Chain A
Amino acid sequence: MLLIHYSYKNILARKLTSLLTVFGIGLVVFVFCAVLMLSNGLGETLIATGEDGNAIVIRKASQTEVQSIIYRDVANAIKADAAIEKDADGVPIVTSEILVLINQNKRSNNKPSNVPVRGVTGMSINIRPAFKLVEGRMWQPGTSEIIAGSKVAESFQGCGLGETVRFGMRDWTVVGLFETGGSGFESELWGDIDQLMDAFGRPVFSSLTMRLANPEEFEVFRARLEGDPRYTVEVMREKEYYEEQSKFTTIFINAMGVTISIIFSLGAIVGAMITMYAAVANRTTEIGTMRALGFSRRTILFAFLTESLLIALIGGAIGVLTATFLRLVEVSTTNWNTFAELAFSFEISSEIVLYAFIFAIVMGIVGGFLPAVRAARFRIVTALRAK
């Protein structure tokens, strides 16, 4: 304990160099955390889009709703499946929807990006309990009215409450704003499916979403639908489907971010190494004294590694703490699976904190190891003579 105390006091004794090293490591950990929080936020947003117990049906091999086509007769046959839960009135809880991308300019830079427009039914809202109309009202059936997710309303021109957006050769008025607990639906425009199918000239659905009466029998349900030669559909749990949607972008963000972090970390490691070499050089006599008192080479190695680790841990803690403030920032990016713009926040998790500290510890050990070895290898007589 006293040795840790000794290491800690030595860090305090060299305030400026220690602070700069802490800052360097903190910065790298911050970038590392930010990247992981970014991909985690994206994943969380998309996973939250799915409901437990819901299943989604799309055309086989289409991968996303945007590319999927489900004919009305197939949809009707699937809707009659006994595995789908029924509401109090005996109506199956299933909705057929279309999803189409439109091009709309962003408020921030006046540049176009893809906005998903979802044609929904009354059941679409029942099936998604997180749905909440936060401003305005629902559309009137048979009119060119739509409602907008809160994030799309904020980010895109013409999508705010009372504004008009043009697509499908019609002007659509946004009459309400909705939220769905931070999920991906908040980046969509919703309207009446019949109006939208008509406007887009699409006689087919994109997907079917249903609540299963017994979610544990999902595999049986899937096998039945996917095995039926009339359908050629793919059935997924809704959560898994949306998780899959985030995969490509998440992998890209992670790979790029972790590569950048590792390159940055080399700088931080060199910084830590210089600091620790300087510490060893300044304390050569102290090292000689400790060895003369009977401390082993291993203890000296441990003391200097501890010092380097303490610096790294303080840097790590500062990096993680600073990164948590990123939760207040909202970003949007194109989801490369669907090519639709998706808004989400940086999300921290206990795993990210753990990885960040492991990363900091690795930087501390790698940066401190060679100087610590040098300290441990001093000949006592030579070290005692140093001034």
Chain B
Amino acid sequence: MSKSFVQLHNVNKSYWRDTLEIPVLHNINLDVPEGEFVALMGPSGSGKTTLLNLIAGIDRPSSGEVSVNGESVSRLSESALARWRSRNIGFVFQFYNLMPVLNAFENVELPLLLTKLNRRERRRQVETALSIVGLADRMKHYPNQLSGGQEQRVAIARAVVTDPRLILADEPTGDLDKQSAEEVMELLSRLNKEFNKTIIVVTHDPRAAEKAHIQRHLDKGELNHL
């Protein structure tokens, strides 16, 4: 078996509401090899998004360890974590989360502002990312001038523009019609196959999950094989 790229070891996560502890994830252990395409499935409230957030380093586990490519994410300081995210993670959200005042090109360019690339290099990378998602002709379009599927493709271009090795997608098809959902999953599958990106997708949709090589099921905060 190939070496783990994403590894969760005895991870627990609880939230506190006043003095009340609300457990979300129990003793999660997960190994994802590099270049894998994993679907995390489960009903609402099962902790899928929380798990994804822990891997992305936008939330911290209550106990246990999360590591990505050998880096212990849970031990990084706040600012180091922000830097780490910008270099290693591409994040795709359910509702695309594009900046409404920026056009497609500017939205995709946003993560590159955290790099040392000059304007010309940034332009080249943005154009490449938008070409990959098939929207090179929509660079000047604003989010409200795009369909839901196109918006999500712009969001995927934004996720890949810094060339991260890990792409995390939280319900990427949740807000899309059937055809757009298929296109988006096809695109993620292509990124996995052609560009060897490690992809972890949280989804409700069994059809969307079919594109993944591995499907894991979360129920009441516990992770099971399907």
Residues of B in contact (CB 8 Å), total 28
B93 contacts the other chain (Cβ, under 8 Å)? yes
On whether A293 and B85 interact (CB within 8 A), knowing A381-B53, A381-B58, the answer reads yes
User: Are B99 and A294 in contact (CB-based, < 8 A)?
Assistant: no
B110 contacts the other chain (Cβ, under 8 Å)? yes
In the complex, which residues of chain B have a beta carbon less than 8 angstroms from the beta carbon of A285?
A: 95, 97
User: Are B91 and A293 in contact (CB-based, < 8 A)?
Assistant: yes
In the complex, which residues of chain B have a beta carbon less than 8 angstroms from the beta carbon of A293?
A: 85-86, 91, 110-111, 114, 158
Interface size class of A (residues with CB under 8 A): 20 to 34
Kindly state the separation between the CA atoms of A291 and B111 in the bound complex, as whole angstroms.
Answer: 10
The residue on A at minimum CB distance from B60 is A381
A interface, by DSSP: helix, strand, loop or mixed?
helix
A16 contacts the other chain (Cβ, under 8 Å)? no
B70 contacts the other chain (Cβ, under 8 Å)? no
User: Are A292 and B85 in contact (CB-based, < 8 A)?
Assistant: yes
A373 contacts the other chain (Cβ, under 8 Å)? no
Write the nearest CB–CB distance from B217 to chain A, whole angstroms. Answer: 22
| Stretch binding the partner chain, chosen from B100-108, B129-137, B202-210 | B100-108
Quick one: which of A6, A297, A384 contacts B93, CB cutoff 8 A? Answer: A384
Write the nearest CB–CB distance from A234 to chain B, whole angstroms. Answer: 66
Quick one: which of A13, A292, A380 contacts B100, CB cutoff 8 A? Answer: A13
Kindly state the separation between the CA atoms of A293 and B113 in the bound complex, as whole angstroms.
Answer: 11
Interface bits A263-300 vs B (CB < 8 Å: 1, else 0): 00000000000000000000001101111111111000
B138 contacts the other chain (Cβ, under 8 Å)? no
The residue on B at minimum CB distance from A286 is B99
On whether A292 and B106 interact (CB within 8 A), knowing A3-B113, A381-B53, A381-B58, the answer reads no
The residue on B at minimum CB distance from A383 is B58
In the complex, which residues of chain B have a beta carbon less than 8 angstroms from the beta carbon of A381?
A: 53, 58-59
A10 contacts the other chain (Cβ, under 8 Å)? yes
A12 contacts the other chain (Cβ, under 8 Å)? yes
Kindly state the separation between the CA atoms of A298 and B15 in the bound complex, as whole angstroms.
Answer: 26
A202 contacts the other chain (Cβ, under 8 Å)? no
Quick one: which of B87, B91, B97 contacts A286, CB cutoff 8 A? Answer: B97
User: Are A294 and B106 in contact (CB-based, < 8 A)?
Assistant: no
User: Are B101 and A294 in contact (CB-based, < 8 A)?
Assistant: no
B34 contacts the other chain (Cβ, under 8 Å)? no
Kindly state the separation between the CA atoms of A290 and B91 in the bound complex, as whole angstroms.
Answer: 11
The residue on B at minimum CB distance from A293 is B111
User: Are A12 and B101 in contact (CB-based, < 8 A)?
Assistant: yes
In the complex, which residues of chain B have a beta carbon less than 8 angstroms from the beta carbon of A288?
A: 97
In the complex, which residues of chain B have a beta carbon less than 8 angstroms from the beta carbon of A2?
A: 102, 106, 109-110, 113
Kindly state the separation between the CA atoms of A10 and B102 in the bound complex, as whole angstroms.
Answer: 9
Find residues 316-331 in chain A having any chain B CB closer than 8 Å to their own CB: none
Kindly state the separation between the CA atoms of A101 and B82 in the bound complex, as whole angstroms.
Answer: 75
User: Are B111 and A13 in contact (CB-based, < 8 A)?
Assistant: no
Find residues 104-148 in chain B having any chain A CB closer than 8 Å to their own CB: 106, 109-111, 113-114
Kindly state the separation between the CA atoms of A3 and B56 in the bound complex, as whole angstroms.
Answer: 23
In the complex, which residues of chain A have a beta carbon less than 8 angstroms from the beta carbon of B95?
A: 285
Kindly state the separation between the CA atoms of A191 and B148 in the bound complex, as whole angstroms.
Answer: 86
User: Are A291 and B106 in contact (CB-based, < 8 A)?
Assistant: no
B78 contacts the other chain (Cβ, under 8 Å)? yes
Kindly state the separation between the CA atoms of A57 and B180 in the bound complex, as whole angstroms.
Answer: 92
User: Are B99 and A6 in contact (CB-based, < 8 A)?
Assistant: yes
In the complex, which residues of chain B have a beta carbon less than 8 angstroms from the beta carbon of A297?
A: 78-79, 82
Kindly state the separation between the CA atoms of A325 and B83 in the bound complex, as whole angstroms.
Answer: 50
A170 contacts the other chain (Cβ, under 8 Å)? no
In the complex, which residues of chain A have a beta carbon less than 8 angstroms from the beta carbon of B99?
A: 6, 286, 289
Kindly state the separation between the CA atoms of A381 and B79 in the bound complex, as whole angstroms.
Answer: 16
Write the nearest CB–CB distance from A265 to chain B, whole angstroms. Answer: 29
A5 contacts the other chain (Cβ, under 8 Å)? yes
A111 contacts the other chain (Cβ, under 8 Å)? no
The residue on B at minimum CB distance from A385 is B49
Interface bits A91-127 vs B (CB < 8 Å: 1, else 0): 0000000000000000000000000000000000000
A9 contacts the other chain (Cβ, under 8 Å)? yes
User: Are A294 and B83 in contact (CB-based, < 8 A)?
Assistant: yes
In the complex, which residues of chain B have a beta carbon less than 8 angstroms from the beta carbon of A292?
A: 56, 58, 85, 91
On whether A6 and B101 interact (CB within 8 A), knowing A289-B93, A292-B56, A295-B114, the answer reads yes
Kindly state the separation between the CA atoms of A12 and B100 in the bound complex, as whole angstroms.
Answer: 12
Kindly state the separation between the CA atoms of A70 and B100 in the bound complex, as whole angstroms.
Answer: 78
Q: List 5 additional contacts besides A2-B110, A285-B97, A292-B58; criterion CB under 8 Å.
A: A2-B102, A13-B100, A285-B95, A294-B86, A297-B82
Chain A positions within 8 Å of B, measured between CB atoms, are: 2-3, 5-6, 9-10, 12-13, 285-286, 288-297, 380-381, 384
Of all A-B residue pairs in the complex, the 4 with the closest CB atoms, nearest first, are A294-B86, A9-B101, A289-B97, A380-B58
9 pairs, CB–CB < 8 Å, chain A vs chain B: A6-B99, A9-B101, A13-B100, A288-B97, A289-B93, A293-B86, A293-B114, A294-B114, A384-B58
